[in-house]
Amino acid sequence: MKVLITGVAGFIGSHLAEKLLSENYAVIGIDKYLDNYPRRFKEKNLARVLNHSKFEFFENDLAGLNLRELVKDVSYVFHLAAQPGVRSSWGDEFIHYTQNNIMATQLVLEACKESAVKKIVYASSSSVYGDTDDLPMREEGGTRPVSPYGVSKLAAEHLCYLYWKAYGAPTVSLRFFTVYGPRQRPDMFFHIFMDRLRKGEEIPLYDDGEQTRDFTYCADIVDGLLGAAFYPGAGEVFNLGGGTESSLLNVIRIVEGLSGRKAKLKPFERQKGDVRHTRARLDSAKDKLGYRPKISLEEGLAQEWRWIQTLED
């Protein structure tokens, strides 16, 4: 059985590819190596799969490929390719979010709308909820993003729904809540924090550190992606959280304990687009997708800290 993964060289895409190959799937991977962070990280992400006999890789923009031809004998499509980042999505940069999040999703949906693909799984974000006190965040609750990034992810969700409604395209959208673990992008807080802690450097702390997130380990996200692919329904949205809401200050204390090092924190004001709290209601994902996050925050942080120590300066 064959699957297609867009954004395969990324943090989550590379973990998903490894999991599927280990279960004897053939994997087509697409990635255009966005320059949002150094290419060497993405190349290293793919190191374990690039020469696998059942892995076929295309270094291309989605707009430069014949996607209809690629999906002809594909059973599942995992659309993970995106322009990430809340803080960088303002101003002139927003054009990249419209191209890589909205337009790219429409290209995938167009290619799949009359194919035999069993499921198109779209990677959305908790950013679609915005800065709300209505916790836990519920799939049927309000969506009012407070960043252009969040707007672009919600727009792509709506496209998935539209193509399901109009063409019967078997889409499922998953709202990821703050994913972490080995291979986390270098612009994300845990990576920045641990890398600078390792080097004895100052660590930027935006806001007061009491903001909380529902942190989700990467392997749990991969399980959720597979659960969504095999789910018989379509046209729906599900939260994927870790079931552990924690403040940044608590995370810092845990990692200080793991590392035996003291963080040198440098405070900064809260940034535009940041939200104060996130917490996912997981009832629907548990009931319909069989989703059960397994990795505790402490265990996941220990795994990422071990990985950070393997990085070259």
266: β partners = 204
Q: Which two tokens stand for residue 17?
A: 């590819």
Half-sphere exposure of 199 (CA within 13 A, CB side): 13
- Amino acid identity of residue 98, one-letter, is T
Distances (CA, A) of 192 to 61, 179, 201, 202, 205: 28, 14, 10, 10, 10
- Amino acid identity of residue 279, one-letter, is R
Answer yes or no: are the C-beta atoms of 68 and 107 closer than 8 Å.
no
Q: Which two tokens stand for residue 202?
A: 């100052």
Of 76, 97, 122, 149, the active-site residue reads 149
CB neighbour list of residue 283: distance below 8 Å, 6 or more residues apart: none
Active site residue 149: yes
Cα 266 from Cα 193, distance rounded (Å): 11
Taking Cα atoms as reference points, which of 126, 113, 84, 77 lies closest to residue 101? 84
Taking Cα atoms as reference points, which of 115, 12, 94, 56 lies closest to residue 272? 94
Answer yes or no: are the C-beta atoms of 98 and 152 closer than 8 Å.
yes
Half-sphere exposure of 86 (CA within 13 A, CB side): 20
Catalytic sites, residue numbers? 149
